[in-house]
Structure 1
Amino acid sequence: MSDNNKTSGHPEFDYIIVGAGTAGCLLANRLSGNPANRVLLIEAGGRDNYHWIHIPVGYLYCIDNPRTDWRFRTEPDPGLNGRSLIYPRGKTLGGCSSINGMLYIRGQARDYDHWASVTGEDAWCWENCLPDFKRHEDHYRLDEGGDADPDHEKYHGHGGEWRIEHQRLKWKVLEDFATAAVEAGVPRTRDFNRGDNEGVDYFEVNQRSGWRWNTSKAFLREAEKRPNLTLWHSSQVLGLETETIDGKQPRCTGVRVERAGYGEILAQAAREVVLSAGAIGSPQILQLSGIGPAALLAEHDIPVVADLPGVGENLQDHLQIRSVYKVKGAKTLNTMANSLIGKARIGLEYVLSRSGPMSMAPSQLCLFTRSSEDYKHANIEYHVQPLSLEAFGQPLHDFPAITASVCNLNPTSRGTVQIRSRDPREAPAIAPNYLSTPEDRKVAADSLRVTRRIAEQPAFSRYQPEEFKPGAQYQTDEELAKLAGDIGTTIFHPVGTTRMGHAEDEMAVVDPHLRVRGVSGLRVVDAGVMPTITSGNTNSPTLMIAEKAAGWILAGH
């Protein structure tokens, strides 16, 4: 593979993939697996050669860093009492898989069965998505000598590109919090990924031997050796090229790209262009290219290629509400990392054994449960950490504490992504509209009460926990919902802005096979196509979507 070949004139490829992130890296691997396919992969960011990408704790230095992050911000949000949030999106090979939490969670079977229902496509039901999850998995419990139970092979794969491992550390205070959750009625589990994720245990992570395992390593490194795959990184996509002949349906024929040292290039696609720029980037590119709500396009004097009112609508995200508890007699990262000696010990442990706090995912203990008896399924998720701080990027507190962040898995609030101008370099307006429905505000209040109930159990009460945030004095639904707006923050799971749907669904952007409605030769393959957000972290579901799409694309040609 060459980074720089075919950069003059109008180079032609069979497939052009926009975005070398989670979905794009897998697609590039699968589509270029046939040597007859000429594949171009375009990435706005640079190579993933920044050392902090690969050290697990390095997410702290990658998020809001222009080297690895688009550095988006949300609009001031009424549901957050007027606050604006940072909105990280990966800008490097591997995309968000290079800066995310490395947490392997699929969601619930009901999520995918719902997708099948709203699209009319049985391929999206859980039973038919499971093989796509397994196809690229390399699960540690299926390693030789692993501790898999008899049913593990039914749910997990081995020998694929996507490595899944156990975390290389344990914390007594977290294990006691898990026991307290059991005392509060939450069952133990050994596997969150069998379709019903209710339970408590440590997260499994996308790491290999204590290093982050991003999709660039997993899917692109070997594919880079193929002469039929071309990579243009550090390349800004300006828009899609479309043409309409004899009044027929417009067709996407290529991508306009600006490359340093080469100027603007029109790369042509003989078969398909695939947008994998994510739930923020893909609707932005579509709107810039005249594919989107006609009124928005007219506002920016962009000729309408296809009036698709759903482009940029239906934004969903998981809003986490962080409860911080001061504890006594517990070892936490606050006390370990607040001295030079402590930091030196942490660094040495990682150098010698690739373990300890530097191997930590952002969250260690996982908990899925119900915010109230009104729910028949787990509707909230916890990310529990042996540390605390005022806000992301700020120093750790100087007292021992843990953080129990809880999010509503199935929010009913919906937001938007809209371009601000015709300039592809200007960030779009991102308005999540968090906590904009009574249901979401009620779940927020109830979930804080669940946290308190767990903290009161005997296994955790031995630490004499003191609720530092939000504060035990706040008790009513109204008080707790307002507090959620004060302290809630994104957990970085935007989806839904180019959602799929059946032919009669006017707000669907793509059909059940992810082809853009009204424009041939164009698909969207990323988290934006989810009609509803999955009940958990969204990175691995996005890989599953890409796996399924790759099969359809290859079968169609």
Structure 2
Amino acid sequence: MATYDYVIVGAGSAGSVLAARLSEDPGVRVAVIEAGGPDTAPEIHIPAAFPQLFKTDLDWDFDSDPEPGLGGRRAVLSRGRMFGGCSSMNAMIYIRGNRADYDGWAAAGATGWSYAEVLPYFRRSEDNQRGADAYHGVGGPLTVSDGRSEHPLCSAFLRAAEQAGYKTNDDFNGATQSGVGRYQLTQRDGMRCSTAVAFLHPALGRPNLTVLSSARAHRVVIEGSRATGVAVERNGTVEVVRAEREVILCAGAYESPKLLMLSGIGPAADLAAFGIDVVRDLPVGQGLQDHYMALLNFRTDVESLINAASPENAALLRSQGRGPLSSNIAETGGFFHSSDDLEAPDLQFHAASVLFHQDGLGAATEHGFAFGPGVLTPTSRGAVTLRSARPDAAPRILHNYLTTPEDRDRIVAGMRIALEIAAQRAMASIITGPFGDAPASDSYPDILAWTQSHGQTLYHPTSSCAIGAVVDPELRVFDVADLRVVDASVFPTVPRGNTNAPTIMTAEKAADLILGRTASAASTR
């Protein structure tokens, strides 16, 4: 039975950061338990290739239960299962969210999580190619750069949005978030810069860091009121990996609550139904949130990314780190307000330089492009629950997308903005027709019906082990000593934007909480 100081479950977006930060002290022994394996597949590192990872053995390949707000459709919920986790298969968009998100967390009781208090952790991680300023840092492990593709289809979206009267914004992570522009990306020299690339790989040579790959965590071992280790299956054998200081769950918004429930921490009635002894009765898995989006797809005569994987483009990527294969597909987008009385945006657009349909699984057989809104501030709440007491069973997931009037109003308002942009000269001049069907009219019922049948996840699940409900502001599980959760599941609400950067920030802050460091020290690192 191996013993370490810290045992981390998950080598993904948060776990890779924590493994690197905690193992900086050579006197500390750190183990990471990862269900997947190393991030060696070339499709991981070639930015434009990430959709090829869906529904492979590098994808957890979850599905939701039938969603009542989507006419009973099941949502496809892809999640990375390899070193780097979702940072190894996402669209690499670096968005922190809005100041209002974090100030709202703090006002609701998440002490220490205001915007001013988390900004130093965003800056600590960052090595921004534009240089340092009040909002950005340099010298951190994570390369944040401008995209090197600038595909004409994504550029056309920006021109059309400007023609529709929307302002441009050259830094969504700066003083203001609203407007349209090009996304900054977690890329280094035109290739993906995941948390595995940025944090984990540079730390793997340390003798005090051990990564157990292809290892499934079964449950947290709890003795009395203290977490003492993790039961792990590897190569067909189950063993306990002991933690002398802490067990830290970084398995994500679906797997972290599942693992807690398998360990007896969760809603008592639900656990009893599976014959699991209740250690602590907590609302684990409740309050699940996500961003729901709907993309209009159009045909065009403009060259899209369907021919990006040519020998010439591959050589260009290898030699110069640029070209179509460096595209993250959704190169441009923006943040919009569904009504004028909102202080912060509640809609986010992504514009893709290739057809993106059928939950991202549909084949792009002709030239086309896609763009549309996602609801940033959902009022719908879902849940992660157990399907079985077997550790290898996928959890039951229900997001309840579009089950509130507010969410339905927002997605319809966003689609009307999308249709407005599509009608502008810059778009109308390159559109040769719709790909698939479109809303039958611009009426509320027709737009809503279309979004319910054609929308999908933005891959941003959060809040299933939220601060204030399951963990305290230092991310410690209530009433269980030496057990923390450090991933997007602890977010009190889903931030306004892509969730990878906030997850990395959370792990950076957690490292300081664990080690007793302060934010002021973090800001200078």
TM-score, normalised with respect to structure 2: 0.95
Of 278, 296, 308 in structure 2, the residue corresponding to residue 323 of structure 1 is 296
Q: Kindly report which structure 2 residues correspond to 1:375-454, keeping only aligned pairs within 5 A, or say none.
A: 375-391=342-358, 392-398=360-366, 400-454=367-421
**1:270-316 Cα deviation digits (max 9, x unpaired):** 111100000011000000000000010000000000000x2001111
Q: Distance in 2 between matches of 1:114 and 1:513?
A: 17
Q: Is the 8 A contact 2:334 2:348 kept in 1?
A: yes
Of 37, 42, 45 in structure 2, the residue corresponding to residue 46 of structure 1 is 37
Q: Distance in 2 between matches of 1:373 and 1:453?
A: 17
The more displaced of 191-200 and 352-361 is 352-361
Q: Kindly report which structure 2 residues correspond to 1:268-417, keeping only aligned pairs within 5 A, or say none.
A: 268-308=242-282, 310-327=283-300, 330-333=302-305, 336=307, 343-391=310-358, 392-398=360-366, 400-417=367-384
Specify the alignment match of 1:255 in structure 2.
Answer: 230
Q: Is the 8 A contact 2:304 2:369 kept in 1?
A: yes
Of 107, 111, 114 in structure 1, the residue corresponding to residue 104 of structure 2 is 114
Please report how far the alpha carbon of residue 466 of structure 1 lies from its aligned counterpart in structure 2 after TM superposition. 4.2
The one-letter amino acid paired with 1:73 is: D
The one-letter amino acid paired with 1:169 is: S
**1:361-408 Cα deviation digits (max 9, x unpaired):** 13111211112324232111111012225422322142x432113101
Of 115, 122, 129 in structure 2, the residue corresponding to residue 140 of structure 1 is 129
Specify the alignment match of 1:104 in structure 2.
Answer: 94
Instruction: Report the CA distance shift for 1:183/1:15 in structure 2 as closer, same or farther (over 3 A).
Output: same
The one-letter amino acid paired with 2:113 is: W
Q: Distance in 2 between matches of 1:192 and 1:134?
A: 15
Q: Distance in 2 between matches of 1:496 and 1:517?
A: 16
Unpaired runs of at least 5, structure 1 = 1-9, 143-151, 245-249, 502-507
Report SS of the residue matched to 2:159: helix
Specify the alignment match of 1:156 in structure 2.
Answer: 136
Q: Kindly report which structure 2 residues correspond to 1:474-489, keeping only aligned pairs within 5 A, or say none.
A: 474-489=441-456
Q: Is the 8 A contact 1:322 1:469 kept in 2?
A: no
The one-letter amino acid paired with 1:530 is: F
Specify the alignment match of 1:79 in structure 2.
Answer: 69
Instruction: Report the CA distance shift for 1:480/1:438 in structure 2 as closer, same or farther (over 3 A).
Output: same
Q: Distance in 1 between matches of 2:93 and 2:182?
A: 10
Q: Distance in 2 between matches of 1:521 and 1:231?
A: 20
Q: Distance in 1 between matches of 2:427 and 2:443?
A: 24
Q: Distance in 1 between matches of 2:115 and 2:437?
A: 37
Q: Is the 8 A contact 1:111 1:535 kept in 2?
A: yes
Specify the alignment match of 1:204 in structure 2.
Answer: 184
Q: Kindly report which structure 2 residues correspond to 1:511-550, keeping only aligned pairs within 5 A, or say none.
A: 511-550=472-511
Specify the alignment match of 2:60 in structure 1.
Answer: 70
Unpaired runs of at least 5, structure 2 = 519-525
The more displaced of 376-385 and 455-464 is 455-464
Instruction: Report the CA distance shift for 1:390/1:510 in structure 2 as closer, same or farther (over 3 A).
Output: closer
Please report how far the alpha carbon of residue 357 of structure 1 lies from its aligned counterpart in structure 2 after TM superposition. 2.1
Q: Distance in 1 between matches of 2:496 and 2:437?
A: 25
Please report how far the alpha carbon of residue 54 of structure 1 lies from its aligned counterpart in structure 2 after TM superposition. 1.1
The more displaced of 123-132 and 56-65 is 56-65
Instruction: Report the CA distance shift for 1:556/1:447 in structure 2 as closer, same or farther (over 3 A).
Output: closer
**Corresponding pairs, count:** 517
2:426 is the alignment partner of 1:459: yes
Q: Moved runs in structure 1, 4+ residues, more than 4 A?
A: 464-470
Specify the alignment match of 2:160 in structure 1.
Answer: 180
Please report how far the alpha carbon of residue 182 of structure 1 lies from its aligned counterpart in structure 2 after TM superposition. 1.9
**Identity within the alignment, %:** 40
Q: Distance in 1 between matches of 2:402 and 2:496?
A: 17
Report SS of the residue matched to 1:242: strand
Q: Is the 8 A contact 2:34 2:214 kept in 1?
A: yes
The one-letter amino acid paired with 1:178 is: L
Q: Distance in 2 between matches of 1:498 and 1:531?
A: 8
Q: Is the 8 A contact 1:109 1:195 kept in 2?
A: no
Please report how far the alpha carbon of residue 360 of structure 1 lies from its aligned counterpart in structure 2 after TM superposition. 1.3
Specify the alignment match of 2:465 in structure 1.
Answer: 498
Please report how far the alpha carbon of residue 544 of structure 1 lies from its aligned counterpart in structure 2 after TM superposition. 0.3
Please report how far the alpha carbon of residue 318 of structure 1 lies from its aligned counterpart in structure 2 after TM superposition. 0.9
Please report how far the alpha carbon of residue 190 of structure 1 lies from its aligned counterpart in structure 2 after TM superposition. 1.2
Report SS of the residue matched to 1:119: coil
Q: Which has the larger radius of gyration?
A: 1
Please report how far the alpha carbon of residue 432 of structure 1 lies from its aligned counterpart in structure 2 after TM superposition. 0.8
The one-letter amino acid paired with 1:161 is: P
Q: Is the 8 A contact 2:5 2:244 kept in 1?
A: yes
Instruction: Report the CA distance shift for 1:343/1:281 in structure 2 as closer, same or farther (over 3 A).
Output: same
Q: Distance in 2 between matches of 1:213 and 1:103?
A: 11
Specify the alignment match of 1:510 in structure 2.
Answer: 471
Specify the alignment match of 1:190 in structure 2.
Answer: 170
Instruction: Report the CA distance shift for 1:464/1:254 in structure 2 as closer, same or farther (over 3 A).
Output: closer
Let me know the Cα RMSD of the aligned residues. 1.8
Report SS of the residue matched to 1:124: coil
Instruction: Report the CA distance shift for 1:49/1:403 in structure 2 as closer, same or farther (over 3 A).
Output: same
